[in-house]
Amino acid sequence: MSESTATQTRGATRASRASVAPRRSRVRLIVVAVLLLLLLIAPLYVDEFWLRTGFAVFGAIVGAIGLNLLVGTTGQLSLAHAFFLAVGAISYVYVSGESGGIGIVKLGGLGLPPLVGMIVGVLLAGLAGLLFSPIAARLRGIYLGVASLGLVFIGQHLLNTWTSVTGGFNGRAAPDFSLFGFHFANKDPLLFIAGVEFREAERLWYLGLFIAGAAYWFARNLLRSRPGRALQTLRDSEVAASVMGVNVQRYKGRVFLVSSMYAGLSGVLYALSIGSIAPESFGLEVSIQYLSMIVLGGLGSVGGAALGALYADVLPFVGTAGGGGLAAGEAARFLYGLAIVLVILFEPAGLAGLAGRFRRRGRDPGGGAITAPTAAATSSSTTDVPSDRPAQGSST
């Protein structure tokens, strides 16, 4: 193939891709708008059970995005996510809860507005991550994972022994959420939209949708910013990042802070979705579950983290009570484990990588046949065209 023909072919390929890009943007915008519309009108048609499940999913999405920033984007293995969830949940319950108790267990509480409790929970979780960040900045890989695992054991001990704050083994109830005088309880105030009574489940749905959307938006913009690019450089090579002027220890500490604050907010939403907190809710299994979410969704992808959280939270409801075969919980464990194995074997980039593969196919208007102009070249001598595709950046 002559040089002029190759230039024309490359020009045609660029032109076709340029024409496809605006169309892809419009399609993506339409899909997002339709999805948002469906989420906004869902409380008008969906049962209370699924609304409460959806609120739990929104909380899991927040926590998964935070962990993905740490593990997927920066490449730091952490098993302490359950600990930071516990910090956020306990802080909210204590700050916004009332003093009192049942029997010999006397519970403390500050009785402050729930919004203050949520903010304090996020800040204290971030503070806990900041205190641990000097250790995280000096460790990597399995060593960081083992060090962070110690936080989970510390958290379990505190949850079971600090009874005046946590309620001990039995836990304690989470106060209802309210915002500037508007209560998210069932009847305070009464609210009807399109003839549908908006009770606690409907109101919490919109709260979770807003918080999850804000968390997603912040993470996407963070990754597109200069600090986000620095974090991605850390994942590829700390030495290269240091050579490029990135303060490795500082950025590793900062991302641990941000990830912990995400986890604290997720812990608050978890307390609201369950209505109470208990020590067994924040064990090592929770940290493993969040790691599974981001692996299934796709490491380093904000949207993938959201998809992984959706899959993990909805899957346990695959069965119905009283039916034959496996119970819902047992089937969920089998399917969840099978999904993780299949993703690691066949699609390491997760659900986000699978979606990206379809997008790459969509860039080619001819369904992958953009090599047609080079067909004439194959009829020429084999000395003009190599038998194998040259490596990227190769001059051959």
- Summarize pLDDT for 220-233 with one digit per residue, the tens: 999 988 888 888 88
User: Domain limits of the chain?
Assistant: 21-286+356-365
Looking at per-residue pLDDT, the higher value among 351 and 381 belongs to 351
DSSP state of 300: T
Q: What is the band of 82 on the pLDDT scale with cuts at 50, 70, 90?
A: very high
**CA pair distance 65, 301, nearest whole angstrom:** 8
Task: Give me the mean pLDDT over the 190-209 stretch.
Answer: 82
Q: So what's the pLDDT on residue 368? A: 43
Instruction: Say if CB 91 and CB 173 are below 8 A apart.
Output: no
**CA pair distance 155, 5, nearest whole angstrom:** 67
Q: So what's the pLDDT on residue 93? A: 94
Query: Which residue shows structure tokens 């974090």?
Result: 231
Determine the straight-line distance between the first and last CA of the chain, rounded to whole angstroms: 13
Lookup: tokens for 45: 């048609």
DSSP secondary structure of 98-121: PSEEETTEEEP-----HHHHHHHH
Lookup: tokens for 169: 């083994």
Q: So what's the pLDDT on residue 304? A: 84
The percentage of residues in the chain with a pLDDT greater than 90, rounded to a whole number, is 27
Q: So what's the pLDDT on residue 394? A: 40
**CA pair distance 378, 368, nearest whole angstrom:** 17
Q: So what's the pLDDT on residue 55? A: 93
Instruction: Say if CB 310 and CB 61 are below 8 A apart.
Output: yes
Q: Report CA 148 to chain centroid distance, whole Å.
A: 19
**CA pair distance 56, 309, nearest whole angstrom:** 10
**CA pair distance 240, 355, nearest whole angstrom:** 30
Q: So what's the pLDDT on residue 210? A: 95
**CA pair distance 233, 241, nearest whole angstrom:** 6
Q: So what's the pLDDT on residue 378? A: 39
Query: Which residue shows structure tokens 């490449």?
Result: 75
pLDDT digits (tens, 9 = 90+) for 31-62: 888 988 998 888 888 888 889 989 999 999 99
Q: So what's the pLDDT on residue 124? A: 96
Please tell us whether the domain made up of 21-286+356-365 is placed in CATH 1.10.3470: yes
Q: Evaluate if residue 218 carries a pLDDT over 90.
A: yes
The radius of gyration of the chain's CA atoms, rounded to the nearest angstrom, is 25
Q: Select from 119, 140, 141, 121 the least CA-distant residue to 129.
A: 121
Q: So what's the pLDDT on residue 296? A: 84
pLDDT digits (tens, 9 = 90+) for 122-175: 999 999 999 998 888 888 888 888 888 899 999 999 999 998 888 888 888 899
Q: Evaluate if residue 197 carries a pLDDT over 60.
A: yes
Q: So what's the pLDDT on residue 109? A: 85
Looking at per-residue pLDDT, the higher value among 225 and 341 belongs to 225
pLDDT digits (tens, 9 = 90+) for 365-392: 444 444 434 433 333 433 343 333 433 3
Q: What is the band of 396 on the pLDDT scale with cuts at 50, 70, 90?
A: very low
Q: Evaluate if residue 263 carries a pLDDT over 90.
A: yes
**CA pair distance 359, 363, nearest whole angstrom:** 6
For residue 227, whether the previous peptide bond is cis, meaning omega lies within 30 degrees of 0, is no
pLDDT digits (tens, 9 = 90+) for 268-323: 999 999 988 988 889 888 998 898 888 888 888 888 888 888 877 665 444 444 44
**CA pair distance 269, 273, nearest whole angstrom:** 6
DSSP secondary structure of 156-215: HHHHHH-HHHH-GGG-EEPPPPEETTEE-SSSSS--EETTEE--HHHHHHHHHHHHHHHH
Tell me the one-letter amino acid at 268. Answer: V
pTM summary value = 0.77
CA angle (372 as vertex; 371, 377 as ends), nearest 5: 85
Strand, helix or coil at 276?
Answer: strand
Q: Select from 6, 144, 134, 87 the least CA-distant residue to 270.
A: 87
DSSP state of 74: T
Quick count: other Cβ atoms within 10 Å of Cβ 369?
10
Q: So what's the pLDDT on residue 9? A: 60
Residues counted in the chain: 396
**CA pair distance 154, 350, nearest whole angstrom:** 32
User: In Å, how far are 41, 53, 55, 138, 277 from 37, measured between CA atoms?
Assistant: 6, 19, 17, 46, 33
